Structure 1
Amino acid sequence: MTAQRTQLPDGRWHFQHGPIDIVIGANAAVGYENLLTAAHARAWTRFQSILTELVAELPLLRQAVAEVCPLQGVVAQRMWQACAPFAAHFITPMAAVAGAVAQELLPFYQVAGMQRAWINNGGDIALHLAPGQSVQVGLFADLGRLVSEQPLQLDGRFQVHADMRVRGIATSGWRGRSLSMGIADSVTVLARSAAQADAAATIIANAVNIENAAIERLPANQVRDDSDLGERLVTVHVPPLPVEQVHAALQHGLRRAEALWHAGHIEAAVLVCQGKCVTTELPARVPTPPRLARQFGALAMSR
């Protein structure tokens, strides 16, 4: 298994190595095109070693965060640091892996002459925005629609501006790439870094929950034998629920999200469950998503 890269028709780069799947877009100021080429080359060089570094510490990365960080690698330590504020809840550094990896490549684009960059690791996004710059973010609440719905309709769209503190965006939910203890279709978090957003989205999505015998749960290690959650129950099926139960689950998650917001761990969160949506107080330029569907949320960056 070796790392691979492909330049996409629109100029973005696709880096892939095992489970790491990244798309990078960036814009340089006029006259700095060579700088952009060099940034992509340096990011590619760094990318090729990340997976090997993480695998070397995988047993420790799958252990619950404790008071002292036992990890050595820079990405592994960033994962631990992002999860450490949530150690009162069960969380392992793996909860922040996608965001932390995206964030590792960001410094190569944070140089004079680079206007903006977005590093999208399966929906967890690290951002660079020079003064006066912005990017547009689209939110999908149902990944199934990516195939079946033509033309594709977004569930929400907002701008992230350089004068906002948001530099990381992540989404978690029970239908996503990772396992979840909750029933949220999607929890999208805006934070000051991608690793912070990734960890917080996991914690909030776990909190969007209720007890209902019709919700199917299994030990995580039966769903995925290498899961860092061990025998803890994770959600594998959520039937249509009474609206009052959906609201109750969302309120549980919203209380968790607002606590993280007040503590300064996140800038905003959008929580979705079965077509219903609640949000923390959003930055002035981030409206509540106007259209919501019923399944897992992902983020797409448009130019």
Structure 2
Amino acid sequence: MQRLTGDRLHLQHGPIDVVLRAWGPPDAVAAAEAAATARFQTVLDELAAELPLLRRAADPATPPRGAIAQKMHAACLPHTARSIFVTPMAAVAGAVADALLAAMRDAAPGLTRAFVNDGGDIAVLAGDGLDIGMVANPLPGGGFDGALHLRATDGIGGVATSGRYGRSFSLGIADAVTVLAPSAAAADVAATLIANAVDVASPAIIRRPACALDPDSDLGARLVTMEVGALTATEITTALASGAAFAETCCEAGLICAAALRLGGQFCLAGAKTLLLKEPDR
């Protein structure tokens, strides 16, 4: 645990790396940070205890036991009901962020705003407004390519981004897919699946079996994207259209609120587009 600039708190344990911040009366902020720190102590052990189950396709007949694992599992079930392969691990970062934010809110009802950022998957209490930068390419020199301005009235509880530059393997070729949803867990799994759907057949794409790159990968022998060369304008448009079509089905099912998809310098929006086009007013 360490204090960062901007009144942020950094919590790290094994692969879990969280940055959070709370706003409100000093006693409420202190209580919220203490609650998040206490809840964080057991997260990794809870998840590791059920890792074999969490790496299998989500199945309503075999729910996990842990509280966070159950949220991961629940976030995936609406997609598995549509015969889409997904494991609870697709929602792990978002579900952890949700759990820490819930602990903060329970301990400190006086909070006015807060966020918990778990590697780019963010649980938010927007209050009177939170500004969140969007990055298509997180590699050095990538820079911000957009911004969100969220308010409590928007009904957004989570923001997540996935794509081929992320920490996990992707089946698709999206540079980045950012999703707004009622929870970070819901946003996390949807961003993963929408990014998978941004795809096209092209000789410029190099893929390898996930298990050849990581024997423990929950994707098994499924082909994951390793490199994307120069795509034609038609290939980029086709891939984005495929992802946007899937994103719209998620919006129509009430699973997410909106999505922004980026590939090769082009972008498209799905769902409540105005949520992704707001300009900060303060």
Mark yes or no: TM-score above 0.5: yes
SS in 1 for 2:149: strand
Aligned to 1:94: 89
Deviations 1:216-244 (A, max 9, x none): 11000112221100111100000010000
Deviates more, 1:87-96 or 1:33-42: 33-42
Q: Which residue identity lines up with residue 234 of structure 2 in the other structure? A: E
Q: Which residue identity lines up with residue 141 of structure 1 in the other structure? A: A
Q: Which residue identity lines up with residue 80 of structure 1 in the other structure? A: H
Q: Which residue identity lines up with residue 240 of structure 1 in the other structure? A: A
User: How many residues are aligned here?
Assistant: 276
What's the CA shift for 1:249? Answer: 0.5
1:136 partnered with 2:131? yes
Aligned to 1:8: 4
**More helix by proportion, 1 or 2?**
2
**Aligned equivalents of 1:8, 1:94: Cα separation in 2:** 28
What's the CA shift for 1:141? Answer: 1.1
Structure 1 residue ranges without an equivalent (≥5) = 290-302
Q: Which residue identity lines up with residue 266 of structure 1 in the other structure? A: I
Aligned to 2:71: 78
What's the CA shift for 1:288? Answer: 7.9
Aligned 8 A contact 2:13 2:44 in 1: yes
Q: Which residue identity lines up with residue 271 of structure 1 in the other structure? A: L
What's the CA shift for 1:283? Answer: 4.8
Aligned to 1:52: 45
What's the CA shift for 1:24? Answer: 0.3
**Aligned equivalents of 2:61, 2:138: Cα separation in 1:** 38
What's the CA shift for 1:82? Answer: 0.4
Find the partner of 1:165 among 155, 158, 163.
Answer: 155
- Give 1:164-243 correspondences, 5 Å limit: 164-243=154-233
**Aligned equivalents of 2:203, 2:147: Cα separation in 1:** 35
What's the CA shift for 1:65? Answer: 1.1
**Aligned equivalents of 1:238, 1:269: Cα separation in 2:** 22
TM-score (norm 2): 0.94
Q: Which residue identity lines up with residue 74 of structure 2 in the other structure? A: Q
Aligned 8 A contact 2:39 2:103 in 1: no
Aligned to 1:299: none
SS in 1 for 2:154: coil
1:35–1:93 Cα change, 3 Å: same
Q: Which residue identity lines up with residue 268 of structure 1 in the other structure? A: A
Structure 2 residue ranges without an equivalent (≥5) = none
**Aligned equivalents of 2:63, 2:234: Cα separation in 1:** 44
**Aligned equivalents of 2:72, 2:271: Cα separation in 1:** 26
RMSD: 1.6
Identity level (%): 45
1:129–1:288 Cα change, 3 Å: closer
**Aligned equivalents of 1:56, 1:270: Cα separation in 2:** 35
**Aligned equivalents of 1:148, 1:255: Cα separation in 2:** 30
Find the partner of 2:114 among 109, 113, 117.
Answer: 117
Aligned to 1:25: 21
Q: Which residue identity lines up with residue 98 of structure 2 in the other structure? A: Q
